[in-house]
Every structure is written in C-alpha cells, then in structure tokens.
C-alpha cells in the first residue's frame, strides 16, 4: 500500500512561504490593484516548499472585472481584424521574453518535467501569432446577391469571454482558447486553476500590459467561488472551459440562467487500437509510451486504454513493459527525470485508490521504472508508472479517466471486438489506430466515436491547428483550432435587404 504524503502544517507552510515565494498570482484588470486574501501554491515534488500564493477573488472583484471587460470590449471590438492582429503580434514579442524562468516556475508549481513546461510556456507566443495572422479574416463578409435582393453575413464579437483552464498545461491550453477569442474581438477574463496559477498569471500580466486596459483580465481564486461567479455573471456572454466532465456540468448549470454561450473541452478515456500489422519496432513502442505517460499521464487526450490484437499481444506487452521500465520518476527540474509527480493530493489519492481496487480484481499490475531519489520520495506526490494486464473490460481502470501513470492493456481477436470496446465509453475525445497499413487504419478510425482519430501517433502535436479539435458524447461541446475556434467566439449576423416583398408568404400588401 502506498503511503499518502503528508501536507505540511500551516505554520511550516508559512515559514517556507516567506522564504520561497517567487510570484503572487494577483488579480489583473485594467491596471488596477485589487486586495484579496491569498492561498499558497505548494510544489508537488517537495510538499514543504511553498512556490507562491494566489489571490482568492470573490464576487465583488468578479463584478468589477466584468465591468472593466465590458468597457474594454467597446474599444477592442471596434478595431478591425487587421488592427487586432497587429497588436497581438506585438504582444507575442513580449511573451517571448523571460520564458526560461516562467517554465521553471511552472515546473515548480505543476510538477512536470522541464521540457514539458518549456513546451507549455513556449506555445503561448506561437499561438498568439497564429491567431494574429487569422484575425484579418474575421472582417471578411459573405455577400449574396440574387433577384430577391442582397444578404450580408458577417461576424460580430460576443462580448466578455471567460476562459477557465486546467492545471496540466495551463499556459498553452489558456492561449489556445484566449487567442481566438481576442482575434474575434472579445475581451477575456481568465480564471486559472488554483493548482497551477503562477506561470499563467505571470504570462497574462505581460500580455495585458501590451493591450488596451481591460482587454485581458485574470481572476485567480477557487472554482466554487471565483469560477462560479464568473460563469453566472449576466455581463459574461461566452464561457470557454477546459477541464473535467463533472466540472463541465457545473459550468453549464451556472451559465444556463443567463443563456450564456458555452464551449467545453472535457475529459477523455482515449482508446488506442494496435493492429497485428503495426510492426512492433522500437519507435512505435516508445511513441506509445510517450502517448501514455507524458505529464505523468495527466493529459486529456493521452492514451488511457490499449487494445492489442491477440496475435501480437504477448510481444507488445513484453516490449512495452521493458520501455516503461526505463522511466525515471523525480523532481521535474532534474534533467534525469522522465516524469514528475502527480500535481495534487486529490489526484494522487484518486490514482492510488484506483490501482488498489484494480489489484483486488485479480489483474496483474506491474509497477515499473525507478525512483530518481529515495530520500524525498514520500515528500512529493510521486508514483512509479505501471502497466496493467489480465484486467476485465468492465473494470474501473478501463471505464474511467484515470489521469495518472498507469494503463490497461487488453487483447482483442477481431476488428469488430476492438471497435466495440473502444466505443464502450461515455467519452469521445480522441483515439488512435496503429498499423503499417495506413488505409486500413483510417478505415478502422472512421468507426470510432471520437472527435479526433490519429494514425500511428497519439500525443501533444498529433492534433495540429489545421484540424478541428473537440469531443463527442460527454467529452465536450464545440470545436477548437483554426477558424473553428474563432467562430466559437463570434456571433453570426445576417443583414438582409429585400426590396420586393410581393413573393413573401401571406396576402399581398397594397
């Protein structure tokens, strides 16, 4: 049984906070100072270290920030797409500064290894530039002229847009929805996760300083307070939420009272189907390993279930175990670490309990890899990676989104069996098919209920900005990436001029 790490006492945390705090995630809005109580952000690799603090914004602050965004929206929305794009490019230049220290800060608060934090932070200016280039297209109008008259179809900004982001890739996932919202002409209000608010708030403070006051705002706080107040505020016209399915339901409930538009990217229980034509070379095995264990398994579209055709099942399991056994678990700032700790106590306890219940089913749980440092192991939310075999398909580890460093590997006999098991879930975010026969893999992929299906890959980078990204079933509403994301943040308006109404239904007007 794995011991649950003990969180330091309040007095110990206070002492460490005075010595170790490097950044406070404050409210950022229109250049004003907002006073609020704060809470600590603890390093999941060293629970005695307080990395920083974040503001506990309440309803009063939320209301003031929404009013700031409403005022800013009149200015930002009146600019042309070309003008907004130019300002966004300038802001991207600013975000390219100080990326190393922000990546280190992100690793300290989130736990993941440094190269992943560098990818996370470094994605912000790239995404901002991408949508800056698309911003001029927002002004394009469709004009239809025929014998009946003229219709003009155009996009209009929606208004204050709330962005709520998770703790696994906070900077990148925030910018992935914030940037198209800005391009569409909307002011934004970001609610960071309380588990990783520091690097994101620092990044957004830099962004806010380069744009008109109130265009970019940050409201740190608890989801139950700041988040709930934002999604239910009558001045908010759009909510872009990325996170768990249960919290997504709460967001929908909160937004329903004002009929606020909501887009959701929710959980996933992504299947990967490995066909007997896959060719189990070292590259494929390592690609699948990365697709499972990146960010310690805490990515919405990591592989969560592996289905392997029976003819190659034993060979795959042997090679996969060997590859997973190479993983080194340690502090994300140490370059010798392959993966870091889990991000928070709740996630640690959830995955630990899931593994304990899995063992009780009689499944084989192979705990693999090695500890980088035995000394501080129990002072962080560390778990070694595991591979699970001999597990019934109806087991909890197969049916839920485990969000941790473990994966079930299940054999199948024919394609019908594989597709049935892959689709036997309430989720439908992403999936993958692995085969040297790409056409066959694509044919199998067409039968899977998922918003994205990849062939021979399944990780960050598989879904690029040229393809829509989002979930089916309970994995979300709406689509991100490209112009699809801008359309999610825009109102379509039709302007119609019909000089001759004689053909309209009903009696003629004389």
pLDDT tens per residue across span 265-274:
999 999 999 9
Give span(s): CATH 3.40.605.10, the chain: 11-266+473-493
Residues 6+ apart with CB under 8 A from 507: none
For residue 80, is it left (φ>0), alpha (ψ between -120 and 50) or beta? beta
Residues of the chain with pLDDT under 50: 1-21
pLDDT at 509: 72
pLDDT at 460: 87
pLDDT at 504: 86
pLDDT tens per residue across span 348-400:
999 999 999 999 999 999 999 999 999 989 999 999 999 999 999 999 999 99
For domain 271-455, the CATH superfamily is Aldehyde Dehydrogenase; Chain A, domain 2 (3.40.309.10)
User: Which positions are annotated as active-site residues?
Assistant: 265
pLDDT at 27: 97
Q: CATH: 3.40.50.300, 3.40.605.10, 2.40.50.100, 3.40.47.10. Which one for 11-266+473-493?
A: 3.40.605.10
Determine the Cα–Cα distance for residues 162 and 188; give it in Å rounded to an integer: 6
Determine the Cα–Cα distance for residues 5 and 44; give it in Å rounded to an integer: 10
Residues 6+ apart with CB under 8 A from 66: 160, 189, 230, 233, 235, 236
DSSP string, 485-501: HHHHTEEEEEEEE-S--
| DSSP bridge partners of 122 | none
Determine the Cα–Cα distance for residues 231 and 479; give it in Å rounded to an integer: 19
Give span(s): CATH 3.40.309.10, the chain: 271-455
Cα–Cα separations (whole angstroms), residue 134 to 44, 160, 398, 467: 38, 20, 40, 15
Q: Strand 490-497 to strand 149-157: parallel, antiparallel, or no bridges (unpaired)?
A: antiparallel
């Amino acid at each position: 049984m794995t011991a649950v790490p003990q969180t330091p006492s309040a007095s110990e945390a206070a002492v460490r906070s005075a010595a170790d705090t490097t950044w406070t995630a404050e409210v950022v809005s229109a250049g004003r100072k907002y006073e609020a109580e704060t809470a600590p952000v603890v390093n999941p690799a060293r629970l005695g270290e307080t990395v920083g603090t974040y503001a506990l914004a309440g309803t009063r602050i939320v209301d003031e920030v929404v009013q700031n965004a409403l005022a800013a929206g009149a200015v930002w929305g009146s600019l042309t797409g070309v003008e907004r794009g130019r300002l966004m490019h300038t802001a991207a230049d600013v975000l390219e500064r100080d990326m190393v220290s922000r990546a280190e800060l992100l690793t300290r608060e989130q736990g993941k290894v440094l190269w992943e934090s560098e990818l996370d932070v470094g994605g912000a200016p790239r995404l901002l530039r991408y949508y800056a280039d698309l911003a001029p297209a927002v002004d394009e109008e469709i004009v239809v002229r025929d014998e009946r008259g003229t219709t003009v179809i155009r996009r209009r900004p929606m208004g204050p847009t709330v962005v709520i982001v998770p703790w696994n890739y906070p900077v990148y996932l925030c910018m992935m929805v914030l940037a198209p919202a800005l391009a569409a002409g909307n002011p934004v209000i970001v609610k960071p996760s309380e588990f990783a608010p520091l690097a994101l708030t620092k990044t957004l403070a830099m962004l806010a300083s380069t744009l008109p006051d109130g265009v970019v705002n940050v409201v740190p706080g608890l989801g139950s307070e700041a988040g709930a107040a934002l999604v239910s505020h009558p001045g908010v016209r759009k909510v872009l939420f990325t996170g768990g399915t249960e919290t997504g339901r709460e967001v929908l409930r909160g937004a329903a009272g004002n009929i606020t538009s909501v887009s959701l990217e929710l959980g996933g229980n992504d299947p990967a189907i490995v066909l007997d034509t896959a060719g189990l070379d070292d590259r494929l095995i390592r690609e699948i390993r990365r697709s499972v264990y990146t960010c310690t398994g805490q990515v919405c579209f990591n592989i969560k279930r592996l289905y392997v055709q029976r003819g190659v099942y034993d060979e795959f399991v042997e090679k996969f175990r060997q590859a997973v056994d190479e993983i080194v678990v340690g502090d994300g700032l140490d370059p010798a670490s392959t993966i870091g700790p889990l991000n928070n106590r709740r996630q640690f306890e959830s995955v630990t309990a899931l593994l304990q219940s899995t063992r009780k089913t009689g499944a084989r749980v192979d705990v693999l890899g090695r500890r980088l440092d035995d000394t501080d192991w129990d002072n962080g939310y560390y778990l070694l990676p595991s591979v699970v075999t001999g597990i019934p398909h109806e087991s909890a580890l197969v049916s839920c989104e485990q969000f941790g460093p473990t994966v079930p590997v299940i054999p199948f006999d024919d394609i019908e069996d594989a597709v049935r098991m892959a689709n036997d879930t309430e989720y439908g975010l992403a999936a993958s098919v692995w085969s040297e026969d790409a056409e066959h893999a694509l044919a199998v992929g067409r039968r899977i209920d998922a918003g994205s299906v990849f062939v021979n890959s399944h990780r960050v980078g598989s879904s690029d900005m040229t393809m829509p990204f989002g979930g089916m079933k309970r994995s979300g509403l709406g689509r991100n990436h490209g112009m699809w994301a801008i359309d999610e943040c825009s109102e379509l308006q039709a302007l119609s001029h019909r000089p001759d109404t004689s053909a309209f239904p009903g009696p003629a007007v004389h």
